A and B are shown apart, each in its own frame.
Chain A
Amino acid sequence: DFQMTQSPSSLSASVGDRVTITCRATQDIKNYLGWYQQKPGKGPKLLIYAASTLQSGVPSRFSGSGSGTDFTLTISSLHPEDVATYYCQKSGMFGQGTKVEIK
């Protein structure tokens, strides 16, 4: 069965740190990957689609890369408002999420 695995499941970093989240697919999905941010009590927000295209209005400190089976979401400089859970997505399947907290 097709699966998507994110790592780590949670992380704690300092304001200004570079943060990297990975998503691995069990089969080649080309660049068909999205990244979402979900803040507590809110619906998810699309950050990146097609693996590396920044959705309109999303800060440029967010970036995505990868193709095939391995993908990365990077926050170049962590801001306090970036505290959230991040999900990768391919079609109807989501990764299990990565919770980002401030140290």
Chain B
Amino acid sequence: QLQLQESGPGLVKPSETLSLTCTVSGGSISSTSHYWAWIRQPPGKGLDWIASINYSGNTYYGGTLRSRVTISVDTSKNQFSLRLNSVTVADTAVYYCARLIDCTTSCYFDPWGQGTLVTVSS
């Protein structure tokens, strides 16, 4: 059974860089059929897709954070990562990683990690 687990600092200072890693177990990140994604959810709010990547490094970025975000993949470690530059308190959120399925027509997120809360505060 495929599982995803987010990891990274829970507290980041304003203006610094947020870095998170998603470790995939129970399956290979090198699957040619799937993309991998980061999504975030500010406290008490809805879901916001950040970026997606596949095993060969093809990337897609959402509009709201595009200029500050980098997504990358490490197939040797079965991991993919997120970097968000110049964070502010507005970037405080639970960050989720997920696999994308059925992208021949429209992608769906399944499964999801449990999420990790990142707080931006001095």
Point out residues on A near B: beta carbons under 8 Å: 29-30, 32-34, 36, 42-46, 49-50, 55, 87, 89-97
Contacts and interface: CB of A to CB of B under 8 A. Distances in A.
A44 B108 contact: no
Interface string B100-117: 011001111111111100
Interface string B51-68: 010000000101000000
Contacts of A30: 105
Dominant SS among interface residues on chain B: strand
22 contacts: A29-B106, A30-B105, A43-B98, A43-B111, A44-B47, A44-B109, A44-B112, A45-B111, A46-B111, A49-B101, A49-B102, A49-B110, A50-B102, A50-B105, A50-B106, A55-B110, A89-B109, A91-B106, A92-B62, A94-B46, A94-B48, A94-B49
B71 to A, nearest CB: 13
Contact of A42 (B47, B108, B110, B114): B114
Interface of B: 46-49, 52, 60, 62, 96, 98, 101-102, 105-115
A30 B17 CA distance: 39
Contacts of B52: 92
Contacts of A43: 96, 98, 111-115
A85 B62 CA distance: 23
Contacts of A87: 46-47
A97 B46 CA distance: 7
A18 B12 CA distance: 44
Given A34-B108, A45-B112, A92 B102 contact: no
A30 B114 CA distance: 31
